[in-house]
Structure 1
Amino acid sequence: MASLKEVRNRIVSVQSTQQITKAMKMVAAAKLRRAQDNILRMRPYAQRLNSILTNLTAQVGDDVVSEYAEQREVSRVLVIAITSDRGLAGAFNSNVFKGVNALVQERYAAQAAAGNVAYMAIGKKSHDYFSRRGAVVGNYTHVFGKLSFDTVREAAEQAMDGFRAGQYDEVVMVYNEFRNVATQIIRTEQLLPLVPAEPNPTAVQTSNVDYIFEPSKEEIVQTLIPQSLKVQLYKAVLESNASEHGARMTAMEKATENAGELLKSLKLTYNRTRQAAITTEILEIVGGAEALAASR
C-alpha cells in the first residue's frame, strides 16, 4: 500500500491536472463560438457560389471548357489532409490519418505503390505525420495561427497549379466536418478535376433563366471556377477549425470528469491509509502500555 505522502502527492498532481483541463475546456469553448460563427456564415456563401457556377455551366454547356475539369487517367494524386496544429483533441487528428490511409488503400493503392501519391499537409500534426510516410508538398503549418482566406488561398493555388501543370491527375481533400460540439464527421471530397453536379429533382430549376453575360460567359465562368475552388478549400479548413475546438472541448470535459473520479478514488485511498496508520499507532500505544503494566 502506498504511503500517505505518496497518495497526497498524487492528489495534488491530479488536482493540478484537473485545473489545467478545466482552463483548456473554457478556452476551447470561447474559440469554438467564433469558429462556429465563421463556418455558419461561410456555408451559405459557398453553397450559393457553387449553385451559381452550376447554373452558368448548364447555360454555356460545352461552349466553355475549363482546364480544371479535364478528366485524365489517374496516375498521380494529391491528398490534402487537414488537421490541427496541436493535440489534446481526442481522436480528431487520428481520424483524419485513418481516413487518408483508407482512401489511399481503397482508391489509390496502385499509385501509392508506384510512389505517385503526394500529401499537402494543412496543420502541424498532418505535416509531422505525413512527412514520415511520403512526399509532402508545401508547408502550411501556419494556417491556423491567423486563419483567413488569404492564408488558405496559397495552398489552393498550389494544388490548382499542380493540376494544370499535370503534376496531379486528381486532388482530394480529407477533413473533419463540423456537426456539433460532440460530433465531427470525416469527409473525403474531390477538389480536382471538377465533378459535374448531379441533378436534384427537388431543387428549383434555373437552367432556363435567360442570363445576360457581361463581359462574356467564357470570362465569367473561367473567373468563377478558380474562386469556387479556393472557397471550397477555405470552407473545408473552417469546418476543420470548428471541429478541432469542439473535439478539444469535449476531450477536456471528459478529462476533467475522469480527474474528478480519480480524485474520489485517491481521497478514499488516502482516508483508508490514514485510518490504517492511526489504528496501527493506537495498537502500538496500547501494546506498549500493556507491556509497561505487565513489567511492574
Structure 2
Amino acid sequence: MPSLKEVRSRITSVSSTQQITKAMKMVAAAKLRRAQDSILRMRPYAQRLSGILANLSSQTEGSVNNPYSEEREANRVLIIAVTSDRGLAGAFNSNIIKAVNTLVNEQYSKQYNAGNVTILTIGRKGHDAFTKRGYKVIGDYTGIFTGLSFDAVRGAAERAMDGFINREFDKVDLVYNEFKNVATQIVRQDQFLPIVEQPAQDSAAPTLAADYVFEPSKEAIIEELIPKSLKIQVYKAVLESNASEHGARMTAMDKATDNAGELLKQLKLTYNRTRQAAITKEILEIVGGAEALSSK
C-alpha cells in the first residue's frame, strides 16, 4: 500500500492535470465556434463555384483547352495530406496518417516502390510523421493555422497545380478530415487533379442548363475560374480540417477531464483507506503498549 505522502503527491498532480485539460477544452470550444462559422460560410460558396464551373465546362466541352483535366497514366503521384501543427487531439492526426498509408499500400504500391509517390504536407504533425517513415515529402506548410487565411493556403495549391501542369505529377489526391460535428470527423480522400466531373447530389432532380452571356470570352472565364476553383477546394479542405481539429481536441480534453475526475475519486478513496489504516495501526500500538505496562 502506498504511503500517504505518495498518494497526496499523486492527487496534487492529477488535480493540476485536470485543471489544464479543462482549460484546453474551453480554449478549443472558443476556437471551434470561429472555425465552424468559417467553414459553414465557405461551403455554399465552394459548392456554387463548382456548380458554375461544371455548367460552363459542359457548355464549352472541347472548345476550351483545360490542362487541369488532362487524363494520363498515374506514374507519378502527389498526395496532399492535411494535418495539424499540434497534438492532444485524439486520433485526429493518426487517422490521416493511417489513411495515407492505406492509400499508398492499396492503390499506389507500384509507384511507391518506384519512388514516384510524393506527399505534400499541410501541418507539422503530418510533415514529421511522413518524414520519419521515409516518404518523399515536399513543402513545409506549417504555422498556417495561426491566422488562417486563403493567402496562407494558396501556395500549397499552386505547388500541386504547377507540378501537374509541368508533368512532375500525373495525379494529385487530397486527404483531410471533414467536419461533421464536435464528436465526429470524417476522413475524406478526393481526387484533386486531374479534374473529374462531380456526380449530381440528387439524380432525380431535373438539371437546368443556365444560359450564360460570356464576357469577355468563354476561354478567358474558364481559364480564370478553374485555377480559382482548385485553390478554393484546397482552402475548403484546410478549413474543414481546422474545424475538425478543434472539435477533436475539445472532445479529447473533455474525456481527459472526466478521466482525471474518476482517477481523483480512486486516489481519494485510497488516501482515506491508507490514513484509516495508519490511525488503526497507531491505536493498536498504543493499546498494546498500555497493556504491556499494566501487566508489569
Q: TM-score range by the shorter chain?
A: over 0.9
How far apart are 1:159 and its partner, in Å?
Answer: 0.5
Deviations along 1:133-172, one digit per CA (max 9) or x if unpaired, are 2111111012112210000001000000000000000110
How far apart are 1:204 and its partner, in Å?
Answer: 4.5
Which moved further from structure 2: 191-200 or 162-171?
Answer: 191-200
Which moved further from structure 2: 126-135 or 263-272?
Answer: 126-135
Q: Could you tell me which residue of structure 1 aligns to residue 203 of structure 2?
A: 201
Q: Could you tell me which residue of structure 1 aligns to residue 66 of structure 2?
A: 66
Deviations along 1:177-213, one digit per CA (max 9) or x if unpaired, are 0000000000000110000233553344232x32210
| AA partner of residue 257 (structure 2) | T
Q: Could you tell me which residue of structure 2 aligns to residue 170 of structure 1?
A: 171
Secondary structure of the corresponding residue to residue 90 of structure 1 = coil
Alpha carbons of structure 1 residues 108 and 56: separation in structure 2 relative to 1, 3 Å = same
Q: How far apart in 2 are the matches of 1:25 and 1:237?
A: 21
Q: Could you tell me which residue of structure 1 aligns to residue 190 of structure 2?
A: 189
Query: Within 5 A, what are the aligned runs for 1:107-126?
Result: 107-126=107-126
Query: With structure 1 as the length reference, what TM-score do the two structures score?
Result: 0.98
Q: How far apart in 2 are the matches of 1:75 and 1:137?
A: 18
Secondary structure of the corresponding residue to residue 11 of structure 1 = helix
Q: How far apart in 2 are the matches of 1:279 and 1:256?
A: 34
Instruction: Detail structure 1 runs of 4+ shifted over 6 Å in the superposition.
Output: none
Q: Does 1:12 align with 2:22?
A: no
CA RMSD, aligned part only?
0.9
Q: How far apart in 2 are the matches of 1:247 and 1:201?
A: 34
Deviations along 1:29-71, one digit per CA (max 9) or x if unpaired, are 0000000000000000000000000000111121112010000
| AA partner of residue 213 (structure 1) | F
Q: How far apart in 2 are the matches of 1:171 and 1:234?
A: 15
Query: Within 5 A, what are the aligned runs for 1:99-178?
Result: 99-132=99-132, 133-178=134-179
Q: Could you tell me which residue of structure 1 aligns to residue 295 of structure 2?
A: 294
How many equivalent residue pairs? Answer: 294
Which moved further from structure 2: 222-231 or 191-200?
Answer: 191-200
Q: Could you tell me which residue of structure 2 aligns to residue 281 of structure 1?
A: 282
Residues 55 and 206 in structure 1, CA contact (< 8 A), matched pair in contact too: no
Q: How far apart in 2 are the matches of 1:197 and 1:204?
A: 16
Query: Within 5 A, what are the aligned runs for 1:228-267?
Result: 228-267=229-268
| AA partner of residue 204 (structure 2) | T
| AA partner of residue 5 (structure 2) | K
Q: Could you tell me which residue of structure 2 aligns to residue 22 of structure 1?
A: 22
Q: Could you tell me which residue of structure 1 aligns to residue 41 of structure 2?
A: 41
Deviations along 1:94-136, one digit per CA (max 9) or x if unpaired, are 0000110111111111001111000101000011011122111
Secondary structure of the corresponding residue to residue 120 of structure 1 = strand
Percent identity for Structure 1 against Structure 2: 68
Alpha carbons of structure 1 residues 204 and 147: separation in structure 2 relative to 1, 3 Å = farther
Q: How far apart in 2 are the matches of 1:68 and 1:107?
A: 22
| AA partner of residue 174 (structure 1) | V
Q: How far apart in 2 are the matches of 1:63 and 1:170?
A: 24
Query: With structure 2 as the length reference, what TM-score do the two structures score?
Result: 0.98
Secondary structure of the corresponding residue to residue 247 of structure 1 = helix
Secondary structure of the corresponding residue to residue 171 of structure 1 = strand
| AA partner of residue 80 (structure 1) | I
Secondary structure of the corresponding residue to residue 201 of structure 1 = coil
Q: How far apart in 2 are the matches of 1:239 and 1:218?
A: 31
